[in-house]
Structures are given as C-alpha cells and as structure tokens.
Amino acid sequence: MRPAHKENHLIDRIGWLRAAVLGANDGLVSTASLIVGVAASSAASGEILVAGTAGLVAGAMSMAAGKYVSVSSQSDTEQADLARERRELEDDPAAEREELAGIYVARGLDRDLALRVADQLMAKDALGAHARDELGISEFTTARPIQAALTSASTFSAGAACPCSWPRSRRPPLSSTRSLPPRWCS
C-alpha cells in the first residue's frame, strides 16, 4: 500500500500570511511617513534615523501586542466553542449525531449515507468531526497567538527597515513640503 502524499496548500499558511502582509505594509507606510515628516522639519540625518528606528521599535511592539491580543481572543472563543461542543457530545450524543448528519445532507449526501459517515467519524474523533464540520475549526485555521504576534513584529520590522535604510541621496524629495506657505504648516 502506497503512503498518502502530503500536499502543501496555501491555506496551511493563511494564519501567519495575513499577519505578515499587514505587518510589512504597516511597517513600510508608517515608518516612511514618520521619516518624511521628521525630514520635512529640516532635521539632521542622525535625528531622522533615530526617529525612524524609534518608529520601527514602537510599531513592532504595538503590532505584536495588538495581534497577540486579537488572536488570543479568537483562540479563547474557539476553546469555548470546543468546550461547549464537548459537553453537548457527552450530554446528548444522539442529537449531535443527527446534527452532524444534517450537515452532510445539506452538503449533498443522502440521509442514510450521511448517518453512516457521521457514525464513522464520531467513532474515530467525535469532537474533531464537529469542530471541523460544524464549527469550521481545523488544525490549519486554529488561532495561534504567539505565531501571529511574532510574524507581525518581524514583518513590521522588515517593512520599517526599508525607509530607515534609505541613503541620504535617495530620500524622497521634500522640496514641495518645504515650499508650503507657513500658515499651512502651523
């Protein structure tokens, strides 16, 4: 018998990929905006670099903390739903069997086959079957707060490092900002 092959799908990475894209984009845009703002005040290069670095550190910490809290809330909700489902399976397994079979009927199986599928899946891992098919929770979509926080912080830092590392000669032109009438800038 041939062993099953492992397929690599993008959905396996969706949890951290979303955090990575947001982190890199936020790091790039917010730090570039901060640097342009400080540079517009005619600050020296060292001061601009300090401001950019401070923005990088503060932003990375903020992104990590925010993402951790957000994804922890999602994880807490998932755990509460799983605990409720576990209680329902203990209290009324027959109703849970009917509920699972109903899900399969709604997906297109005939009732007898849906009941057989529900029986087989519940015999192997009743909570897993309900988590996946009723709640939409799988090993790929389970909330991972630490992974999300680290991903957000590191990709924010990578995005923020780009404008921090601009050579002086390649900084965005600020002549238009400096030429604004003083009353517009005060």
Q: Per residue of the chain (186 residues), give pLDDT as tens.
A: 566 667 665 655 666 677 788 889 999 999 999 998 998 888 888 898 999 999 999 999 999 999 999 989 988 999 999 999 999 999 999 999 999 999 999 999 999 999 999 999 999 999 999 999 999 887 767 778 898 899 999 999 999 999 888 776 655 554 334 444 444 444
Q: Does residue 112 sit within a domain?
A: no
Q: How far apart are CA 126 and CA 89, in angstroms?
A: 8
Contact 174, 115 (CB under 8 A): no
Residue 114 domain flag: no
User: What pLDDT is stored for residue 186 in this prediction?
Assistant: 40
**Do residues 153 and 64 touch, judged by C-beta distance below 8 A?**
yes
Cα 60 from chain centre: 15
Residue 113 falls inside a structural domain: no
* pLDDT number for residue 172: 54
Q: How many domains does the chain have?
A: 1
Domain for residue 121, yes or no?
no
Q: Is residue 130 part of a domain?
A: no
Would residue 64 count as lying in a domain?
yes
| Structural domain span for residue 46 | 14-97+137-180
CB of 122 closer than 8 Å to CB of 97: yes
pLDDT at 102: 97
DSSP output for 123-149: HHHHHHHHIIIII---TTTS--HHHHH
pTM of the model: 0.67
